[in-house]
Structures are given as C-alpha cells and as structure tokens.
C-alpha cells in the first residue's frame, strides 16, 4: 500500500494504564496471583489484610499446607508453631509473586511490633533469612514497616547495617515522610485514599477534584520535597479510592494499585498527563526541615488526621494478623 492511500485500520489508542506505565512504575496492590498475570506490574505489595483474603481462596491452599508443615517442624509450643507458620506463609506468597513480577515484593512486619525497634529488626532479619533459604536474594524484597518513629529507626538500621531495603507504610504526614528520608529508607508508601477518607468523615467537604484531593496534595508535597533536596528515598502512592487520584499523581516514582482500579485504567483510553515532575520540583519553594524524635512526635501530634489514621491502620493490620493466626492455629491443631 502506498503512503498516499488512506489507512484502512485505526491505530489502537493506548489504554490509560499503558500510558501511565510510561511515566510511573506500576505496582500491584494484591496477594492475588491471577491479577498480576493480567496486569503485568513491575512490583507487588502485600499486607496482612491482602494475605488473609488470598488465604481463603482454594488455589492458594498448597501454600498454607506448606506453611503449616514448616510451623509444625520449626515450633515446639502451639504459639511457636503458629508464629513460624505465619512467617513462612508471608514468605511463600512473596516467592510465588516474584515468579510473576520482574521487580520486588513487599512483605510486611507484624503490626504489633510497630513500637518495638529491636523486635522489628529481628523479625525483618528472620523473614529475609527465610527468603534466602528459598533462593530469593534480599535485593528483590522490601520489608514493610509502619511509619512510627520506632519503625523508621528500625528501617535505618536494616538499610545501613544489613543492606535490607525497606518500604515504610501507613504514612499519612509530612513529618513521617521527612523522617523516612533522613533515615535513608528505600521507599515510602503514603496512603492517598485513607487521607481522603478522613477528610470526608471529619469535614464538611465530601467531594474533591483530583488535584485538590487531600491525599493527592500530601503526596505531591512529599514528592516535591524529596526531589528538591535530592533524597534517594522514592515515593510510592498507595491506597487509592478512584482513578482520578491515580491520574493526578502521574509521574510519581511508583504507584501501587488494586486490581479493580488497574482494570478501570486498562479499560480507559483517557489521556494521561504528567503532574509530578522531578525537575520542576527542584525549583520549588519548600524549605528543609531539621528532623529529630521530638520534632517528629510534636508534628505528628499536631496533625489529627495522621495521628488518627496511623493508629487506626496499625490496629486494623494487627487485627487481620490475629485472624490469620487464628486460621493457622485451627489448621495446625486439626492436623496434629
């Protein structure tokens, strides 16, 4: 066909998801392997709630069986067996995920350790040891810790002394983000949607345009601060409530997105434009904050939204961790 002839086929418009992948690293926020096969993310994140949900599906029963056998062998008391099985289950899910994604998996530390620096470090070292026993190198794993002062300091030790990369989660405030950057952590996960939830529940305004969404505004400020002052820590927006929030953060280092919203982006052909830009951030007017424990605790105390959502998030992840342990305890007892 000559160039003068009209085209008979329309060029297929790239989906919003494909466009977004050109600007931002896409991460799957799920424990469901099938979703990863469908949407082909670079990385994947898990947490106790996601693992609990996936553990109820028949196709993952073989992983639970393997974890229980490990618990029975590694533990003496029932509580030791449950703890060992839970640790192994998180690692087994992570290993399976790494067969599907080219990048990294995030595996979460027990939320009940959120205020215990030394116990968090010990648990992280144990999880990494389990991964390495199963042939997974530590550079493919991110250890997820809550963004408490103790969690951030645990991450600092893990990064500097053990070469273990950390993902600081349950992050709602600028103070948490600055402390994480100063600690030299690999990655932070600011929770966009949960910030929006708080404002909808606690203020008179019930709807927001994407660029004015309080979660989007928070992540944009954090991203700009990191890029302006040259921090190595990268920003992964998380916990989205709608596609608008995701589109308004195009250009962020990473975005971790649920299968439902990945599906919505896949079906859409709405053009995606860059909102976050590292070069523009360097010219911004943000001033550097000198962070220490006293400053961190005061800034967090003065931020009611962040204080509420951090404590609420820790409680919810801890509750789902207990539910997972209850399930494992019943299965262990039934098999003995």
In eight-state DSSP terms, residue 113 is G
Token pair recorded at residue 103: 């990048």
How long, in residues, is the chain? 336
Active-site residue, from 144, 227, 228, 309: 144
Taking the C-alpha atoms of residue 264 and residue 125, their distance in angstroms, rounded to an integer, is 38
Taking the C-alpha atoms of residue 292 and residue 283, their distance in angstroms, rounded to an integer, is 26
Taking the C-alpha atoms of residue 25 and residue 213, their distance in angstroms, rounded to an integer, is 22
Number of H helices, E strands in the chain: 15, 8
In eight-state DSSP terms, residue 57 is S
Taking the C-alpha atoms of residue 116 and residue 112, their distance in angstroms, rounded to an integer, is 8
Annotation marks residue 40 as catalytic = no
Q: How far apart are the first and last CA of the chain?
A: 73
Pairing mode, strands 165-171 and 141-146 = parallel
Residue 181 CB-half CA count within 13 A: 24
* Enzyme catalytic residues: 144
């Amino acid at each position: 066909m000559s160039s003068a002839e009209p085209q008979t086929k329309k060029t297929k418009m790239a989906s919003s998801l494909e466009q977004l992948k050109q600007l931002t690293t896409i991460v799957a926020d799920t424990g469901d392997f099938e979703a990863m096969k469908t949407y082909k993310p670079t990385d994947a994140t898990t947490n106790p709630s996601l693992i609990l949900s996936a553990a109820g599906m028949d196709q993952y029963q073989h992983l639970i069986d393997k974890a229980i056998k490990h618990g029975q062998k590694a533990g003496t008391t029932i509580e030791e067996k449950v703890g060992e099985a839970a640790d192994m289950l998180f690692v087994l899910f992570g290993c399976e995920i790494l067969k599907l994604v080219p990048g990294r998996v995030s595996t979460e530390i027990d939320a009940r350790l959120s205020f215990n620096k030394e116990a968090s470090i010990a648990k992280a070292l144990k999880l990494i040891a389990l991964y390495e026993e199963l042939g997974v190198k530590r550079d493919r794993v991110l250890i997820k810790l809550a963004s408490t002062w103790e969690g951030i300091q645990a991450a600092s030790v893990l990064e500097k002394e053990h070469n273990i990369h950390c993902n600081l989660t349950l992050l709602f405030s600028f103070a948490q983000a600055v402390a994480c950057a100063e600690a030299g952590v690999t990655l932070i996960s600011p929770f966009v949607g949960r910030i929006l939830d708080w404002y909808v529940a606690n203020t008179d305004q019930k709807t927001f345009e994407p660029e004015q969404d309080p979660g989007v505004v928070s992540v944009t400020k954090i991203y700009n601060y990191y890029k302006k002052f040259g921090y190595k820590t990268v920003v992964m927006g998380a916990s989205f409530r709608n596609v608008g929030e995701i589109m308004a953060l195009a250009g962020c280092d990473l975005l971790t997105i649920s299968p439902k919203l990945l599906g919505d982006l896949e079906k859409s052909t709405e053009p995606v434009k860059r909102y976050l830009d590292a070069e523009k951030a360097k010219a911004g007017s943000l001033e550097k904050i000198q962070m220490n424990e006293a400053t961190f605790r005061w800034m967090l105390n003065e931020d009611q939204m962040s204080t509420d959502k951090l404590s609420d998030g820790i409680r919810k992840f801890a509750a789902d961790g207990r539910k997972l342990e209850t399930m494992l305890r019943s299965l262990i007892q039934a098999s003995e």
